[in-house]
Amino acid sequence: MFDGSQPITPPAGDPYPLFREEHEELRSSIRRFIDKEVAPFIEEWEELRDFPRELYDRCGELGFFGLKFAEEHGGSGPDYLAAAVFTEELARCGAGGVAAGLGAHTDLASLYVGNYGTPEQLQRWLVPSIRGEIIGALAVTEPDAGSDVASLRTRATRDGDHYVIDGAKTFITNGSKADYVVVAARTGGDGHAGISLIVVDATTPGFSTNRLDTVGWRTSHTAELFFDGVRVSAGNLLGGVEGDGFKQIMGNFGWERLAMALGANAAAAKTLEAGIAYAQERTAFGKPISKFQVWKHRFADLASEIAASRSLTYHALRRYVLGEPAIREIALAKSFACELDWKVADECLQVHGGWGYMMEYPVQRAWRDSRLGPIGGGTTEIMREIVAKIDGLS
């Protein structure tokens, strides 16, 4: 199990390693997979508002879901640098919903089970998740409790050897597609200490979903979840200890937010590449738009900001894999990268003029998909509050 608290021993002669040769080989492999088996079908999947379940099987077969997990469970790690490479390359696929659906499975649901599950839970849910045989989701957010996790109301009442769960969740990625859901529920009193995580199989009586119609991430199966007397074994309590849920959620927020920053930087770079290519082809007043000083300078500014954001994110990643909490650095990286991804998409839509507002060009999807970054995984405002608190400003 690796949750960011254990240091990774760097290779001799390089006390601050980041990506090594094996990581770049992995990057090339993932990019070939994306270019061949994902990118050509994005438009079709966007129309369907779905992508094939077989894509999970394929990622499992290629080992992409096992990068953070031990070999004894079918993984190849834990190597969070390899996982970072997967996150970056996946974000370049051209559809935020595909990246979100696969990411929510491996970076959220699977990671919670992998980091906190009992041996029995690891065998039941993690091993087949790594193979891509089952799909997972994490359910924390509620209609009245988003960033304020301690205020959630979904309750799990102990009844003998079972828990009976009642309540609702919303904005859950993979919610209407998952085979199992890691649910944050109140097993005790008010506040942080009363929260536990319980795994619920999607076939359990009383569990139902309603898929939501999202602006972006169209293929991601974002949904409301409903628990009406859902009865599950007490053995589904993640880690086997009541009241550990809030600590578990906070422990995994580090990687979740790092993954969002990594993905945002990669997506922004991809969007900028496409924007520059369009500007080089589109002519106005007898010359390509890219020749106008205003756009040359805008593109240069955006390239500078992406480079700065990537450096900030890699700094946070380096500290994370070396076992440091890096809470402040991760909050800075997440807020800056996600806001920048949206900014880049907006600027690149502008360079398209009226065509940017047409569904014909992928830039409109980058614009819609990027808007969720400053909201999900902890809003930009929450990230600023974290930094302010650490800096003694609150």
Three-state DSSP class for residue 160: coil
Q: Please name which of 86, 184, 74, 189 lies closest in space to residue 132, comparing C-alpha atoms.
A: 74
Q: Distance (Å, rounded) from C-alpha 144 to C-alpha 150?
A: 11
Catalytic residue among 88, 256, 329, 339: 256
Convert 49-70 to b/e letters by CB count within 10 Å (16 or more is b).
ebbeeebbeebbeebbbbbbbb
| Helices and strands in the chain, H and E counts | 13, 9
Q: Is 256 assigned a catalytic role?
A: yes
Q: Distance (Å, rounded) from C-alpha 126 to C-alpha 66?
A: 10
Q: Distance (Å, rounded) from C-alpha 69 to C-alpha 136?
A: 15
Q: Distance (Å, rounded) from C-alpha 144 to C-alpha 156?
A: 17
Residue in the block written with tokens 């993905």? 263
Q: Distance (Å, rounded) from C-alpha 44 to C-alpha 55?
A: 14
Q: CA 368, 373, 379: angle at the middle one, nearest 5?
A: 130
Q: Please name which of 94, 119, 107, 81 lies closest in space to residue 322, comparing C-alpha atoms.
A: 81
- DSSP letter at 322 equals T
Convert 328-367 to b/e letters by CB count within 10 Å (16 or more is b).
bbbbbbbbbbbbbbbebbbbbbebbeeebeeeebbbbbbb
Do you find a cis peptide bond into 78, omega within 30 degrees of 0?
A: yes
User: Is 305:340 a contact under the CB 8 Å cutoff?
Assistant: yes
Structure tokens at 18: 């980041």
Using CB atoms within 10 A of its CB, is residue 379 exposed (0-12), middle (13-18) or buried (19+)?
middle
* Residues assigned a catalytic role: 256
